[in-house]
Amino acid sequence: MTIILYIAVLLFSTVIHEVAHGYAAHLRGDDTAKMAGRITLNPVPHIDLFGTIVLPAVMLLFNSPVLFGWAKPVPVNTYRLQNPKTDIALVSAAGPLSNVLLAAVSGLGIRFIRMFPDFGAGLGATIEACLYVMVLVNAVLLVINLLPIPPLDGSKVITYFLPPELAVKYLNLNPYMCFFILIILLSSGIIWRFVGPVINLLIKLFAGA
């Protein structure tokens, strides 16, 4: 039951993440994602075979300390954006910001339940546990997605601070090679030594001790 809950929360959170990208692009003048039917909460158009199914399954198989994955990236035509240099960073930041919002709202729900001990001892305990998973998953998605490794969101946000020529070369790095490096870092546990404390801090900030 716990595994099903984690997978459901991960799927929901990654769908919201991608919808946020698409809606931000739409607001900045690019309707590519909207025309492709990707600004929808229907999870089917967002499922990525590797990021949504294979990677989470492998992490569960190897007893990873956390569950991570992603949905199919929404299409964005940078030439349609009103101000590509600024808007690419804004559209990229929209996904992680959606994770902040989901974690914050879930954290508020946890704090509210804790205000009523009698309710928290019954049905409230189950609801609190579900909300805690929402905080945990979105804290992980937030931190991992902000890593400056293409094609993660952090790599696009950082291009705002790079010279145009360097930004183009950076974003054109082989995504498969970068994903391979990311998977090695995740599976080896090396990266958790650095991001783990950040994730734990975010969980405490959102959900309390």
- 119-134 residue pLDDT tens: 767 788 889 999 999 9
Q: Residue 46 CA to chain centroid, in angstroms? A: 13
Name, in order, each residue with C-beta under 8 angstroms of 64's C-beta and a sequence gap of 6 or more.
Answer: 186, 187
Helix (H) or strand (E) holding 192: helix 192-207
Low-confidence ranges of the chain (pLDDT < 70): 1, 65-66, 120, 174-176, 187, 209
Cis peptide bond N-terminal to 151, omega within 30 = yes
pLDDT score recorded for residue 46? 93
Three-state DSSP state, 72: coil
pLDDT score recorded for residue 209? 66
The whole-chain average pLDDT of the chain stands at 87
Amino acid found at 144:
I
DSSP 200: H
pLDDT score recorded for residue 119? 75
Condensed to tens digits (0 to 9), the pLDDT of residues 139-167 reads 999 999 998 888 789 888 888 888 878 87
pLDDT score recorded for residue 175? 66
pLDDT score recorded for residue 125? 86
- Count of Cβ atoms closer than 10 Å to residue 41 Cβ: 9
Query: Of 183, 156, 178, 154, whose CA–CA distance to 167 is shortest?
Result: 156
Q: By the 8 A CB rule, do 106 and 86 touch?
A: no
